[in-house]
Structure 1
Amino acid sequence: MTRDNDAPSRIVLPDAPADQAAILAAGGVACWSEPVSIDTYEAGDPDPYPLFLDRRVYQGSSGKVYPLPMIDSVSQTKAPRRWQAIHLENAYVRLMLLPEIGGRIHIGYDKVAGYDFFYRNNVIKPALVGLAGPWISGGVEFNWPQHHRPATYLPVDTRIEREDDGAVVVWHSDLDPLQRMRGVHGIRLRPGSSLVEAEAILHNRTDVPQTFLWWANVAARVHEEYQSFFPDDVGFVADHARRAISAFPRADRAYYGVDYPTLADERADADRIDIYSNIPVPTSYMITDTDDEYFGGYDHAADAGFVHWADRSVSPGKKQWTWGNGPIGHAWDDQLTDADGPYVELMAGVYTDNQPDFSWLLPGETKTFSQFWYPIHRMGPARQATTDAAVAVSPDGAGTRIGVVATTAFENVTITVRSGDAELAEWTTALDPRTPFVQTVDAASDDVVTVTVATADRTLVEWTAKAASDEEPWVATAPDAPEDIDANDELYVTAVHLIQYRHPTRSPLPYLREALRRDPSDSRAATALGAWHLNRGEYTEAKDALETALARITRRNLNPRDGEPFYLLGLACERLGEDDAADRWFGKAAWNAAWAAPATLARARIALRGGDARAALRLAGAAGPIPEARRLAALATAFLGDAASAADALRELHAADPLDPATSALVGVHGDRDARTALDVGAEFARAGAYDAALAATAQTDPAAPAAGLAGPIRHYLRAHWLDAAGRADEAAAEREAARRAPAAFAFPAGLDQHDALVAAVDADPADAVATGLLGMWMLDAARNAEALALLRTAAEAGSTDPVVWRNLAIAAVAAEDDTDAAARAFERALALRPDARLVFERDVLAERRGLDAGARLDLLEQFASLLGTRDDLSLRHVTLLLDAGRVDEAWDILTTRFFRPFEGGEGRVIAAYDRAACTKARSLVETDPAAAVRLLEEGMTPPAHLGEGRHPAERPVERWVVLGDARLAAGDESGAREAWESARAATPLAVAPRPADEATFWTGVAHTRLAEHADADAIWQELDDRAAQLRRERDAVDYFATSLPELALFDTDTGAARERTADALEALASRGRSLHEMIAS
């Protein structure tokens, strides 16, 4: 059933079951699993076509989503859905966790204050904000290894653990869908404590170094009286990638285009960016430095809030994000909730202090840390906090108000207030989370220097007055072009930065190649290049580069300090089947402690695969306590015939970590493991020669839900590869035959194990259309475009009837050879096999790139008229082409009836089409019914809600203002006409960088002309000509610091021919403007 979208939604939390209620009544922690009905706008079906978005800019870094399927639609209606939920409660706090949506905390409720200290969203209403599409607001999202969490809308495995001290932890575990590292986070609640702890365990189970960040993303409901608080010594904040800074809490300059000092001249405190309501546009800020370890938010209306605390040595990140208290923000509020209103995100970063800002996790490495939150009330914003207590110090008339909240009960707490050596006040009291201590000291706040809260044996929290730093922090700059960098060291550092920070539009290769051009044996550049080739499956090229690096670093010193080149060379040799050489290189890498564990594990893997179980057992023990080594030791023990000891070791390992999917597989617990995780588990065993275990782990078929991707034929090709290695050729051939018959939907191969299996399958049968198609897909993701094209052509020529193969062939034809005609033919074949809205959309992007006119493109689109309304992006392209072709009424019908859902970063396009259509309709009415034209244009100045977007202050509807002025003049309203034209040419209220001249620039010139400001108009026409000349000279560089550019998603449409067409259009506009001027003058 569906529910009226206007009907109020409210999550009703269930009562604790009798056994848990008894624990709660006794002062303990209740925890139970029970579904909860939540009104839900369901996410759409995953896209059956893989997306190769290497240049997509997302949150300032790569928006690559492959091999995850993209979901790019959300239902417009809500219906009740029962979500799996885990409830955690003690005397002070109640939490509700949602394992099916990334293991997030959805509700954090302060039972004492009766207040949701985390934002409670009473509907599940995804918006297209996530890396792979759907994302919801509210509660706490745990983002890793990038922001937002790639698996944010995917389920996690869970278990409930009761600890000896009465605490309860709810553990959540999954393998990241992109990098395949394992992330575990446990939400812990203790008896008698208001502390909510998130303990994270991040493990790199892969062979190679990986980059990661961790941001715990807390949402807090906001309004005009909500304040975000940060440590007293925070004097500056930075934007994404530190591309800009501002003073804090009072912005002392334009930030995100908003001139806060000028606003403060007009309205007191309007420059306070710690107050949500002062921020009119989407805005992020991250503190640049602090010596303290806390921050949080406070609702002055409710007199309640929360504190976050974490060890600053690993958790420097403290951030606020808001959609803004303006039209854009309000539109996004409507996209994300029905009635729960706006929120801010108060994010806590670990091993990161910015976005993007990534750290390294080496192979086999595990990082663990904890973060803590707790509710506060009746005390005001905290000025200092620990995990024991928080203290507030604020002016109170002529005196100073002191507030303290503790996280657990303490007797005989002494609270001392000092001014220098002078004691101003001292109280002794009991503290607990229910009863804040609040008193006023008869002293001005400037005279209060220290507040100490202590028991007899320790200090709970101490605040000391300190000023924020007034030293401006550094601001990032874009790197120079490789040829403009003097030193090889700088070239290498720049390349590593681009790799580490996953830069979406700048490649590290030019920097590495320039370094190697200058010094062909540069060991650092050669090592980085070798790693790059290795990750792309180019093992011979990787080996060559790494041997070059080793030749240099061992020229005088046979025992270098860094073992990485040895280790990577071992990996390359192992992939090439050169196990003896690999073993030698791994052995040498293990001389260095940083690489000893993964290198020794690799040697154990080779030994067991080669049949030397005793050596494997010895080496696995030497590799240390990493779980991969302990599993391999158990496998080696079983190979040696001691099955009982092996089983005991595995049971012990499983008892310590029941959610580890590989250990679970070895003890026979398979559960609801997703298909791709099963393949990872099997590959781990197969690489150690444990082929029976690998086959058992991959025996199950795919689950029904494809959101994380399916295994399909990939599973069979892997199994065939392993069976061949085990000498079971007949069974391998049967698996390859099964692969050719298996459904291939959502089977997007990824990782080197799957690459190797597909290479083996193609070698076994070069005419296998399924294997060649899948390997071509893998190559396309790796940007090995020429090889992808050859493989996909082979699959097509072998008679593939999979539309995914033909669509991928179209993409490869453009990527490898810029053959748009071949791509068009491939799209035709794909559409013949499966008429699909995405294919229609992508074919039109290709048609635009080919330079087809609006009529020809419309003819192609309208071959599939029934599909045009099924996607927002396709519908918007249809509207644009209808307007180009003069079919305005048809475009207007779509724009006034369709509900749109924008992708974050793609806002403004629907409004632009809406304005263009409105202006075109209004111009047709000016002569016959100017009053109707005026109404049409005035009513749309505030876009209707169904467009899903709000106007950005920097995006003025210039043409709408000009045509409105014309309509008012035709209606006899001369003063109104002038007012409209003046609005059209008025400067943007934001201090944003000037945008390149475009059609809006032309309409600004028209406004000047209407106002007889001819010199200004002439300058506009020259600006259009200058922009046209610039486009003919060179293409625009993509902004190095861009945070969101979804338009870089498919084909590069910024071709020379496209720039020529744009330049022609701009020159035509300039000529039209001058003609208008001359007509008026004559």
Structure 2
Amino acid sequence: SWLQPYEVRTFKQYWYPIKEIGGVKAANRKIALNLEIKDKKRLKIGLNSTCLYRQAQLIIREGEKILSQQQVDISPPQPFLKEISLASEINEESLRVQLFSSSGKELITYCPPPKEKVSLPEPVKPPRPPAEIKTVEELYLTGLRLEQFHHPSLEPYPYYEEGLRRDPYDSRLNTALGLLLLKRGLYSEAETRLRRALERLTANYTSPRNGEPYYYLGVALRAQGRYEEAIQAFYRATWNQAWAAASYLSLAEIRCLQGDWRSALELLNRSLALNRLSTRTLVLKAVVLRRVGRLRAAEEIIQAVLKTDPLDFWARNELFLLEKDRVGEKKALQNWTAVEARMGNIGQNYLELAVDYGRCGLWPEAMDCLWRLINSGQKKVTTYPLLYYYLGYFLEKTGEKKRAAYYFEQARQLSPYYCFPFRLETIDVLRTALEHQPNDPRAHYYLGNLLFHLQPEEALKEWEIAAQLDESFFIVHRNLGLGYAWVKNDIAKAISSLEKALFYEKSQPRLFYELDLVYEAGGVSPQKRLNLLQAYHNIVAQRDDSLSREILLLVQLGDYDQAIKLLESHHFHVWEGGGRIHDLFVDAYLLRGQKYFSRGDFEPALRDFQRALDYPENLEVGRPYHDRRAFQIYYFIGQAYEALGKNRLAQEFYQKAVQEKQSGSEIGYYQGLALKRLGRMAEANKMFDDLIASGRGLLEKAVGLDFFAKFGEKQSETKRRAQAHYLLGLGYLGKGKRNEAKAEFEKALQLNPNHFKAKHQLLIHYQED
């Protein structure tokens, strides 16, 4: 769902450490219960609890008849499990399971619901291309959904832009696009869109029903320092209750910037009248009360906030400032030690505090937060460059330009490692620093990092300046390499930059991984790539992703023994969404097994095929519920048994290979071959026809995007088309159309010279050519 500015929602979740009981049929805060019925004559009961219950009463009834009644002791580390055998079949819908405490209080009750035939809901459908969507409203809603559910390859912009091509003044589309531009720090462009949204909404002196465009126009104007215009926009937004609380808070922040405490307090009270749960508004009210000397009233608000949210660091800092006024700085600092522990001496927590104060023009408080951290003596955080850039910025705002310049210079000299700005507010901070020191390569570098996903073209410009100012700073060359590849699609420049990064720094295994990716995209020969990785193997092996590239190349080039040696000896650590290292494991064993098979060594071939079924612990990949590649492996095992004259076992594995049809995929090709061996030719041909249809379908797609790709996945169009030709080749090969198959495999290799599976098919089926 959507969370509006400064909106507060609360909810509770209870996470059970489910232990030994299997699934869960019913649960509450006290008990989780599972009931399974086996063969209509056996009941399996499982109970977990969140606290200790002694002599609880478990009663199981069928209608009015008691099937079982017993006392049980249950606790979090001690689940209850029981299986009951019955003399006759039971009616599941008449069952009733109840658990009572020793005092007779009901803890949980479960009755299996009647089984009804319920039609499945419609599955999610990929969005159509913008030009194919009929209405402007549907374009707007499609873009909105893409915003709400991140997609690795699809952006909402084309849908909004297509809608605006048809209707340039559509208020919904202009507002949505304006908000996206705001999030990217493109305030002037956002202003243009939001003003256009308002042109239609306010036509003929109409007052808009929706205050959203006015609110975000105020945000855009404020970010540009145009406070009086922002005030007008925010006031107009207050006429819509949905946006009034946020608008009054924004107006109060501007009045604080202007030092108008009385007006700020009045505006904060208006905001709180509409949104009493906003701790941000409450803390700012306490700040204003402190500033005007009403310390007791300020402390009452802060104490109330801390009861609601003990980890509100802004409130904690305000309490410290109030104590400092009351008992003196020395004693207040003693109490601050406990707050420091909660904040973890993490620079970002202090920067967040400073930004909160800075938004309201409270420069002394903002600087006090950062100086307090710097004076703490914690070297890990006191050498964080952004602390000093922000101090320079705040001093610039107070007119202390010489002191500002000192802190900007301090920031420039500090180590850039682990410094990664992400706040939009930091854009202005770094640009202010560059006004003082245009030749600061670090400020240009940090600004590039911050802008890359927001304004990629600007980010590249900043990195290019940083590289000119400090040629030996390898990370800038690395970033430029990735930027040239992703933004410009200039693989030659990407390779040049990454090679330069590696020239200056050879101890970073990640660089080898990234350089190999762009080498692959640039068509650099696999042998040259492998030579580089093997020359620095000890460094490459320090990261799983880098080592996986070396293994991939070993498999591609047919050095299966070395690939398997690395796969078996290295402990991999799989991240969420990962698991492809196991595909390399399967490929290495299947390809080596086929090599043995081709020269008549059927026993070692069988051992390799059988090993491909395993999920070794060192790979950290668990066996999936639907192990799709197992069907491919079963085919090869069957083939090996057949070659060894063990026809019964061969037929058994061919049958296993076709248990779950995987039509239209590479696995489907091997299932088709297994069906051939089973004599089921019509089914086999259907599998091959499906492969051809799947390959053609991929080629016909204008964009070729996988709507159901996992988070973070993004594949090039060239690679997708190469895979399409590979599938076509498999389909034709299965149907015995060797010439057509060969042509498709060759097309796959032309598009992607690293498509080793297409190369493998050509080697094993067309060696005589």
Provide TM-score, normalisation by structure 2: 0.77
- 1:826 pairs with 2:491: no
Q: Give the alignment of 1:1027-1038 within 5 angstroms.
A: 1034=701, 1037-1038=704-705
* 3-state secondary structure, aligned to 1:498: helix
User: Mean Cα displacement is larger for which, 949-958 or 539-548?
Assistant: 949-958
Deviations 1:1027-1073 (A, max 9, x none): 6666665577444344x355439x88737788854577677777778
> Does the CA-based 8 Å contact 2:485-2:491 persist in structure 1?
yes
Q: Which has the higher contact order (CA 8 A, sep 6+)?
A: 1
Q: 2: CA distance between counterparts of 1:471 and 1:1011?
A: 38
Distance change in 2, residues 1:710/1:1071 (3 Å):
farther
Q: Give the alignment of 1:310-325 within 5 angstroms.
A: none
Q: Give the alignment of 1:401-440 within 5 angstroms.
A: none
Q: 1: CA distance between counterparts of 2:129 and 2:155?
A: 11
Distance change in 2, residues 1:1063/1:391 (3 Å):
farther
Q: Which amino acid aligns with 1:305?
A: L
- 1:1048 pairs with 2:714: yes
* 3-state secondary structure, aligned to 2:121: coil
- 1:550 pairs with 2:198: yes
Q: Give the alignment of 1:447-486 within 5 angstroms.
A: 467=114, 470-472=117-119, 474-475=121-122, 476-486=124-134
User: Mean Cα displacement is larger for which, 946-955 or 844-853?
Assistant: 946-955
Q: Give the alignment of 1:251-290 within 5 angstroms.
A: none
Deviations 1:406-430 (A, max 9, x none): 99xxxxxxxxxxxxxxxxxxxxxxx
Q: Which amino acid aligns with 1:598?
A: A
Measured after TM superposition, the shift of residue 795 of structure 1 is 0.9
- 1:954 pairs with 2:665: no
Q: Give the alignment of 1:748-787 within 5 angstroms.
A: 748-782=420-454, 784-787=455-458
* 3-state secondary structure, aligned to 2:439: coil
Residue 404 of structure 2 is aligned with which of 729, 732, 740? 732
Measured after TM superposition, the shift of residue 530 of structure 1 is 0.9
> Does the CA-based 8 Å contact 1:807-1:830 persist in structure 2?
yes
Deviations 1:175-221 (A, max 9, x none): xxxxxxxxxxxxxxxxxxxxxxxxxxxx98x9577999986543312
Q: 2: CA distance between counterparts of 1:1003 and 1:473?
A: 31
Measured after TM superposition, the shift of residue 447 of structure 1 is 9.7
Distance change in 2, residues 1:945/1:922 (3 Å):
farther
Q: Which amino acid aligns with 2:47?
A: G
Q: 2: CA distance between counterparts of 1:392 and 1:764?
A: 78
Q: 2: CA distance between counterparts of 1:737 and 1:619?
A: 40
Aligned partner of 1:519 in structure 2 is 167
Q: 2: CA distance between counterparts of 1:795 and 1:556?
A: 51
Measured after TM superposition, the shift of residue 695 of structure 1 is 0.9
Aligned partner of 1:581 in structure 2 is 229
Aligned partner of 1:499 in structure 2 is 147
Q: Which amino acid aligns with 2:479?
A: N
Aligned partner of 1:891 in structure 2 is 563
* 3-state secondary structure, aligned to 2:558: coil
Q: Give the alignment of 1:180-219 within 5 angstroms.
A: 207=5, 216-219=14-17
More strand, by proportion = 1
- 1:620 pairs with 2:254: no
> Does the CA-based 8 Å contact 2:60-2:96 persist in structure 1?
no
Residue 340 of structure 2 is aligned with which of 649, 671, 679? 671
Distance change in 2, residues 1:849/1:963 (3 Å):
farther
Aligned partner of 2:744 in structure 1 is none
- 1:662 pairs with 2:332: no
Q: Which amino acid aligns with 2:503?
A: A
Measured after TM superposition, the shift of residue 925 of structure 1 is 7.4
Residue 693 of structure 1 is aligned with which of 365, 376, 379? 365
> Does the CA-based 8 Å contact 2:62-2:95 persist in structure 1?
no
Q: Which amino acid aligns with 1:395?
A: E
Across the aligned residues of Structure 1 and Structure 2, the Cα RMSD in angstroms comes to 4.7
Q: Which amino acid aligns with 2:146?
A: L
Residue 305 of structure 1 is aligned with which of 41, 47, 53? 47
> Does the CA-based 8 Å contact 1:1006-1:1017 persist in structure 2?
yes
Q: 2: CA distance between counterparts of 1:760 and 1:1069?
A: 58
Measured after TM superposition, the shift of residue 876 of structure 1 is 2.0
Distance change in 2, residues 1:449/1:980 (3 Å):
closer
Which sections of structure 2, spanning at least 5 residues, go unmatched?
37-42, 75-79, 81-85, 321-335, 726-746
Q: Which amino acid aligns with 2:714?
A: L
Measured after TM superposition, the shift of residue 679 of structure 1 is 0.9
Residue 645 of structure 2 is aligned with which of 965, 974, 977? 974
- 1:790 pairs with 2:457: no
Deviations 1:643-675 (A, max 9, x none): 665456545644664421111122333413222
Q: 2: CA distance between counterparts of 1:221 and 1:1062?
A: 51
- 1:610 pairs with 2:261: no
Measured after TM superposition, the shift of residue 696 of structure 1 is 1.4
Deviations 1:14-57 (A, max 9, x none): xxxxxxxxxxxxxxxxxxxxxxxxxxxxxxxxxxxxxxxxxxxx
- 1:983 pairs with 2:653: yes
Deviations 1:598-617 (A, max 9, x none): 21111111001012121112
Measured after TM superposition, the shift of residue 1002 of structure 1 is 5.7
Aligned partner of 2:522 in structure 1 is 850
Q: 1: CA distance between counterparts of 2:679 and 2:91?
A: 59
- 1:541 pairs with 2:199: no
Which sections of structure 1, spanning at least 5 residues, go unmatched?
1-144, 146-202, 232-291, 308-372, 380-389, 408-433, 435-439
Measured after TM superposition, the shift of residue 942 of structure 1 is 3.0
* 3-state secondary structure, aligned to 1:623: helix
Distance change in 2, residues 1:637/1:1053 (3 Å):
farther
Distance change in 2, residues 1:961/1:656 (3 Å):
closer
* 3-state secondary structure, aligned to 2:24: strand
> Does the CA-based 8 Å contact 2:169-2:196 persist in structure 1?
yes
Measured after TM superposition, the shift of residue 637 of structure 1 is 3.0
Measured after TM superposition, the shift of residue 896 of structure 1 is 2.4
> Does the CA-based 8 Å contact 2:249-2:267 persist in structure 1?
yes
Q: 2: CA distance between counterparts of 1:487 and 1:711?
A: 55
> Does the CA-based 8 Å contact 1:543-1:569 persist in structure 2?
yes
Aligned partner of 1:630 in structure 2 is 282
- 1:395 pairs with 2:47: no
Structure having the higher Rg: 2
Measured after TM superposition, the shift of residue 841 of structure 1 is 0.8
Distance change in 2, residues 1:471/1:294 (3 Å):
farther
Q: How many residues align?
A: 697
Q: 2: CA distance between counterparts of 1:644 and 1:375?
A: 45
Q: Which amino acid aligns with 1:660?
A: D
> Does the CA-based 8 Å contact 1:796-1:806 persist in structure 2?
yes
> Does the CA-based 8 Å contact 2:615-2:622 persist in structure 1?
yes
User: Mean Cα displacement is larger for which, 488-497 or 837-846?
Assistant: 488-497
